[in-house]
Amino acid sequence: MASELKKEIDSALQNNILRGALERFSQAYPVARDKAYQGLDFEELRNKVQEVKTYAADHIDEMIDQFEKNATARGAKVFRAANAKEANDYVRKLAKEKNVKKVVKSKSMASEEIMLNEALREDGAEVQETDLGEFIIALAGHTPSHMVLPAIHLTKEQVADLFTNYTSEKNDPIIAKLVGTAREVMRQKFIEADLGISGANIAVAETGTLIMLTNEGNGRLTSTIPSTQVFIVGIEKFVPKFKDASYILKTLPRNGTGQNITTYVSMYTGVNEAYLPDGTKGPKDIHIIILDNGRREILQDEKFKQMFNCVRCAACLNVCPAFQLVGGHVYGGHAYTGGIGTLLTAFLTSEDTAQKVQNLCLQCGSCTEVCAGKLDIPGMILELRNRYGEKTGLPFTQKFALDVVANRRLFHSMLRIAAVAQKPLTKGTEYIRHLPLFLSGFTEGRSLPAIAKKPFRDIFPKIKQDVPSPKGTIAIYSGCLLDFVYPKIGESVVAALNEVGYKVVFPENQSCCGAPANYMGDGENYLKSAILNIHGLEAEKVDYVVSACPTCTLALKEYKQLFNDNPEMLKKAEELDAKVFDFSKLITMLGGLEKKGDDTPLKVTYHDSCHLRRKLGVYREPRKLLSDLPGVNFIEMDESNRCCGFAGSYSIKFPEISGPILERKLKNIFKTEADVVAVDCPGCLMQIAGGLEHRNSNIKVKHTAELLFDRRNV
Amino acid sequence: MNINELYEKFKEKFEANNGECYRVGRIAEISELLINILSSKNCKNISLYESPLSRTAGLVTELIGAGLEVHTDDLLHNTKTDDVGITEVNWGIAELGTLVQIAPEVDNRLCSTLVPIHVALLKTENLIPDLDSMLDVIDNLPQIPGFVGFITGPSRSSDIERILEIGVHGPKQVIAILVDE
């Protein structure tokens, strides 16, 4: 990973203004969004968005033909631009023909993508961005730090200085007055402009209508005063029917800014009236550029086609724990930022940039919960990561580590050696507080657990399983953390399953689930792990497979995606998928546990693991199991489903991002005043317990299975 | 919802979006209300885009009679400097507090966009309950008009420090006068 990205991250993290603004926004946004959706069924709405946009994507030629026919019949001129150059050349030629001197623009990300401003300026035209945020960053010479709030990284004092410079009049840092200055400056620009350029949020094929959503009124003025107007519309903006716009009108403002509707929704169909250069009124000259510029490539790629369902609301940025820390500049593109921005950058602007910034994704899935188009953004980023991994290979140390992990015998013997070799670092405790040299990133802001003296696989044969007439057999899949760091969780899982009447077996040939390889873009080692485990677990011989690590569970369930051209393996993988469950889910399915045990008061809070909650849909089960414990006072923490920052190797690659994410989690934990934090993922356990230990906190972190065991088996 | 409920809903939402909302029974009452509002805001110059309601109400004569300067033409020039623009809008969406105008005519748009204060006249009977019903109405017109504008309160921005400011490039105040007759 390029060190430039690290530098960008550092400078963003040191920008307190940006950090503060983003953090406040990240807290206010979910509240405003929830309020805006009151009385509406978001799931139903986004299913409709997905349905109409997918239809349009599947019938793209028909959409464009229909739109062109209808818009042309109403007097607009439609031009299909295959790439940035064709689009820019069209506008440049038009500007020359019309002798255009002054251009006003309202926000259009497509025009930023093709760098239209630069092209027009080369020809000597004055191009004015009229959106307040865009105007500010243009004065500052910055690129946007957010797709909807481009100047979120600047303070009113900085804006006042920029305006003072620009107007040569003293501007005070009072927001209302600054907005007033922008209004006065822009009015003159609108009035003098001879060409208006804007984008569109929706293009309706059956009517040739373009729909634009704005708040400031610059969009309306841009399209009212100049006698010539250019709309730049990406081919992903289509919906088939006029009424289909409804779903986007309902989700885009709510998702973008928490508004029920934007101040202005403007619908343009063909030409309307304008004041012509000679002062008379007549039909406005309207040009609509339908832009491809790499979009067809997205459409032809089965894995990425769903990007056409995006409505550009930027909700994915607003909830992304990484974006909330570093903001948009780190994403390097000049137009698109955040999760969806990474994908758009890959196809539309710069593959090199995308290859770097895709690393910023934690794979926590927060974005998928709020996405108006129901896009699987983390899934697509992972696919990018794998493709880049295949193309350019992983750095040597990463590849070496993953090769070792994929080699069961080698990995296990190395861990056994490490259990002995770590002694100088643990200083007799269960934690490693500091690692030397280049490994110090591991222990920045958190302690690492020591490797267990005896792995779970060695303990398992000695566990007494007292199940007189078993209802069936369950194979336990331990996963690396449980096996080598937290064997006690494994023992607790076995005890609980015994109690509900099942005998547990430990298939000896199981190996690392391959998730680390998968999340680092090493498809080859992921496949190796899949094959090893499908054979090793022998799902056909048992009733269920249990795992107490949701990331492992998910990996085991997803192996089937790797064997589309191997029917025999596919069948086995599907059987594994059907039989594997995470601990809390399986125990609940098997009837739950009898209420018994220690009833001394205990305050317990719960942290949702990203994969358990968002990928496996399990969150009620552990809460019920914990609340049912005698003596337990269950307290919800704020943002319980927000990532803890572990994310596997992410916390090693980006300790500077993982650290503050953990910090926010710890703050939410401290607020509950709980005695114990329960988690269902050993990775989260390691991260949160490490953070608490580093701060000398007495709060304990326990896996749900372990807490159940400790409280019930007294 | 009956007309009173629709009106109450519309008023609640329109005001929640920083609009001002009034209602009169008869067309003849518009001018008196309007003159009161304009004088309380110290407005002197008005750009008026004539419409059936403004003509029936005789607004030009009434406003001039009250000592105001009224422009009905050369609006590209006049809306740059006038205090107020008056237009009639076609519908209102109750659940959103949104005014809906069919405005392919440039003067109609100038009077509702370039001026600092926009006064919108609207027949109460043209209140529509919700967004979907509104889209149905537009969709069922013989053709979609060249320009349809939804306006929900005055223009706004949160682009500086995420603080909401009212009145950016579009009007700073939007006033709706609903007429039952």
Helix (H) or strand (E) segment spanning residue A158: helix A156-167
Mean pLDDT of A400-407: 73
Closest CA to A78 of A255, A277, A238: A238
8 Å CB contact between A263 and A214: yes
Lowest mean pLDDT across A109-113, A253-257, A282-286: A109-113
Chain A closest-CA separation from residue B76 CA (Å): 8
b/e per residue A629-660 (b: at least 16 CB within 10 A): beebebeebebbbbbbbbbbbbbebbbbbbbb
Instruction: Flag whether pLDDT at A74 surpasses 60.
Output: yes
Tell me whether residue B180 is exposed, middle or buried, using C-beta atoms within 10 angstroms of its C-beta: 0 to 12, 13 to 18, 19 or more.
Answer: middle
d(Cα A379, Cα A358) in Å, to the nearest integer? 11
Instruction: Flag whether pLDDT at A428 surpasses 70.
Output: no
Q: Do B159 and A265 touch (CB under 8 A)?
A: no
Q: Do A267 and B148 touch (CB under 8 A)?
A: yes
Instruction: Flag whether pLDDT at A424 surpasses 70.
Output: no
Strand-strand pairing, B165-166 and B156-157? antiparallel
8 Å CB contact between B65 and B77: no
Beta bridge partners of A78: A288
Mean pLDDT of A328-340: 84
Token couple for B41: 């805001």
Nearest to A175 among B113, B155, B163 (CB): B163
Contact list, A131 vs chain B (CB under 8 Å): 159
Q: Do B113 and A269 touch (CB under 8 A)?
A: no
Local confidence band at A635 (pLDDT 50, 70, 90 cut-offs) = very high
Q: Do B144 and A267 touch (CB under 8 A)?
A: yes
Count of A-B CB contacts under 8 Å: 166
Nearest to B168 among A154, A179, A267 (CB): A179
Nearest CA in chain A to B171: A217
Q: Is A308 an 8 Å CB contact of chain B? A: no
Q: Is A449 an 8 Å CB contact of chain B? A: no
Provide the pLDDT for residue A439: 53
Contact list, B157 vs chain A (CB under 8 Å): 132-133, 179, 215-216
Chain B closest-CA separation from residue A34 CA (Å): 17
Residue range A262-278, pLDDT digits in tens: 999 999 999 999 999 99
Contact list, A220 vs chain B (CB under 8 Å): 109, 113, 149, 170
Q: Do B135 and A246 touch (CB under 8 A)?
A: yes
Closest CA to A235 of A114, A57, A373: A57
- Report helix, strand or coil for A162: helix
Instruction: Flag whether pLDDT at A345 surpasses 50.
Output: yes
Interface test with B, best of A148, A249, A261 (most B CBs within 10 A): A261
Nearest to B146 among A151, A216, A271 (CB): A271
8 Å CB contact between A347 and A294: yes
d(Cα A192, Cα A177) in Å, to the nearest integer? 23
Nearest CA in chain A to B75: A275
Q: What does residue A153 show for φ and ψ, rounded to 5 degrees?
A: -90, 0
Instruction: Flag whether pLDDT at A436 surpasses 60.
Output: no
Nearest to A217 among B80, B113, B162 (CB): B113
Instruction: Flag whether pLDDT at A406 surpasses 90.
Output: no
- Report helix, strand or coil for A273: strand
- DSSP label of A242: G
Q: Is A264 an 8 Å CB contact of chain B? A: yes
Q: What does residue B142 show for φ and ψ, rounded to 5 degrees?
A: -50, -40
Instruction: Flag whether pLDDT at B18 surpasses 50.
Output: yes
- Rg of the Cα trace of chain A? 28
Chain B closest-CA separation from residue A669 CA (Å): 28
Instruction: Flag whether pLDDT at A430 surpasses 80.
Output: no
Interface test with B, best of A67, A69, A130, A224 (most B CBs within 10 A): A224
Chain B closest-CA separation from residue A295 CA (Å): 29
Provide the pLDDT for residue A283: 97
Q: Is A261 an 8 Å CB contact of chain B? A: yes
Q: Do A179 and B160 touch (CB under 8 A)?
A: yes
Token couple for A30: 């979910």
Q: Is A72 an 8 Å CB contact of chain B? A: no
Q: Do A261 and B150 touch (CB under 8 A)?
A: yes
Helix (H) or strand (E) segment spanning residue A404: helix A396-406
Q: Is A73 an 8 Å CB contact of chain B? A: no
Chain A closest-CA separation from residue B136 CA (Å): 7
Mean pLDDT of A402-414: 73
Local confidence band at A504 (pLDDT 50, 70, 90 cut-offs) = very high
Mean pLDDT of A355-366: 93
Contact list, B138 vs chain A (CB under 8 Å): 242, 267
Beta bridge partners of A543: none
d(Cα A236, Cα A299) in Å, to the nearest integer? 9
Tell me whether residue A387 is exposed, middle or buried, using C-beta atoms within 10 angstroms of its C-beta: 0 to 12, 13 to 18, 19 or more.
Answer: middle
In order, the DSSP letters of A312-350 are: ---HHHHT-TTHHHH-SGGG--SS--HHHHHHHIIIII-
Closest CA to A336 of A118, A150, A70, A493: A150
In angstroms, the first-to-last Cα distance of chain B is: 19
Closest CA to A161 of A188, A140, A189, A135: A140
Q: Do A132 and B168 touch (CB under 8 A)?
A: yes
Q: What is the 3-state secondary structure (H, E, C) of chain B?
A: CCHHHHHHHHHHHHHHCCCEEEEECCHHHHHHHHHHHHHHCCCCEEEECCCHHHHHCCHHHHHHHCCCEEECCCHHHHCCCCCEEEEECCEEECCCCEEEEECCCHHHHHHHHCCCEEEEEEEHHHEECCHHHHHHHHHCCCCCCCEEEEECCCCEECCCCCCCEECCCCCCEEEEEEECC
Q: Is A216 an 8 Å CB contact of chain B? A: yes
Interface test with A, best of B108, B160, B174 (most A CBs within 10 A): B160
Q: Do A269 and B143 touch (CB under 8 A)?
A: yes
Most confident of the following: A17-21, A220-224, A432-436: A220-224
Provide the pLDDT for residue A655: 87
In order, the DSSP letters of A421-452 are: HTHHHHTTSSEE----GGGGGGGSSSPEEPPP
Contact list, A159 vs chain B (CB under 8 Å): 160
Q: Do A21 and B162 touch (CB under 8 A)?
A: yes
d(Cα A491, Cα A508) in Å, to the nearest integer? 16
8 Å CB contact between A669 and A688: yes
Instruction: Flag whether pLDDT at A433 surpasses 70.
Output: no
Mean pLDDT of B146-152: 98
Q: Do A268 and B149 touch (CB under 8 A)?
A: no
Nearest to B132 among A154, A225, A246 (CB): A246
Contacts of A39 (CB under 8 A, 6+ apart): none
Helix (H) or strand (E) segment spanning residue A214: strand A209-214
Chain B closest-CA separation from residue A636 CA (Å): 29
Contacts of A57 (CB under 8 A, 6+ apart): A236, A299, A305, A308, A309
Q: Do B160 and A151 touch (CB under 8 A)?
A: yes
Per DSSP (E only), the strands in A415-559 are: 431-432, 448-449, 472-477, 502-505, 544-547
d(Cα A690, Cα A445) in Å, to the nearest integer? 8
Contact list, A28 vs chain B (CB under 8 Å): 162
Interface test with A, best of B90, B147, B169 (most A CBs within 10 A): B169
Local confidence band at A437 (pLDDT 50, 70, 90 cut-offs) = very low
Strand-strand pairing, B147-151 and A264-269? antiparallel
Q: Is A262 an 8 Å CB contact of chain B? A: yes
8 Å CB contact between A430 and A693: no
Beta bridge partners of A102: A126
Nearest to B144 among A131, A159, A242 (CB): A242
Provide the pLDDT for residue B51: 97
Strand order in the sheet with A580-582: A502-505, A472-477, A544-547, A580-582
8 Å CB contact between A478 and A456: yes
Interface test with A, best of B82, B110, B161 (most A CBs within 10 A): B161
Cα A710 versus chain centre, distance: 36
Token couple for A70: 């209808």
Contacts of B87 (CB under 8 A, 6+ apart): B49, B51, B101, B103, B108, B111, B112, B118, B119, B120, B121
What ipTM was estimated for this complex? Answer: 0.98
Percent above pLDDT 70 for chain A: 95
> What are chain A's domains?
1-35+314-392 (no CATH), 37-130+194-291 (3.40.50.10420), 406-449 (no CATH), 456-589 (1.20.1050.140), 602-712 (3.40.50)
What single-letter amino acid sits at A385?
R
d(Cα A84, Cα A295) in Å, to the nearest integer? 11
Contacts of A705 (CB under 8 A, 6+ apart): A489, A492, A493, A496, A548, A583, A584
Closest CA to A586 of A471, A509, A692: A471
- Find tokens 């709060």 and name the residue: A699
Nearest to A272 among B114, B147, B163 (CB): B147
Class of the CATH-defined domain B3-179? alpha beta
Provide the pLDDT for residue A434: 61
d(Cα B133, Cα A405) in Å, to the nearest integer? 60
Chain A closest-CA separation from residue B91 CA (Å): 14
Residue range A294-325, pLDDT digits in tens: 999 999 999 999 999 999 999 999 999 999 99
d(Cα B14, Cα B26) in Å, to the nearest integer? 22
Chain B closest-CA separation from residue A148 CA (Å): 9
d(Cα A159, Cα A165) in Å, to the nearest integer? 10
Average pLDDT, chain A: 92
Provide the pLDDT for residue A394: 73
b/e per residue A245-277 (b: at least 16 CB within 10 A): bbbbbbbbbbbbbbbbbbbbbbbbbbbbbbbee
Mean pLDDT of A366-374: 96
Nearest to A132 among B13, B105, B159 (CB): B159
Percent above pLDDT 90 for chain A: 76
Chain B closest-CA separation from residue A407 CA (Å): 52
Residues in chain B: 181
The phi-psi region of residue B93 (left if phi > 0; otherwise alpha if psi is between -120 and 50; otherwise beta) is beta
Q: Is A194 an 8 Å CB contact of chain B? A: no
Local confidence band at A520 (pLDDT 50, 70, 90 cut-offs) = confident
- Report helix, strand or coil for A231: strand
Q: Do B114 and A187 touch (CB under 8 A)?
A: yes
Within 10 Å of residue B69's Cβ, how many Cβ atoms? 14
8 Å CB contact between A103 and A192: no
Instruction: Flag whether pLDDT at A483 surpasses 70.
Output: yes
Average pLDDT, chain B: 96
Instruction: Flag whether pLDDT at B154 surpasses 60.
Output: yes
Which residue ranges make up each domain of chain B?
3-179
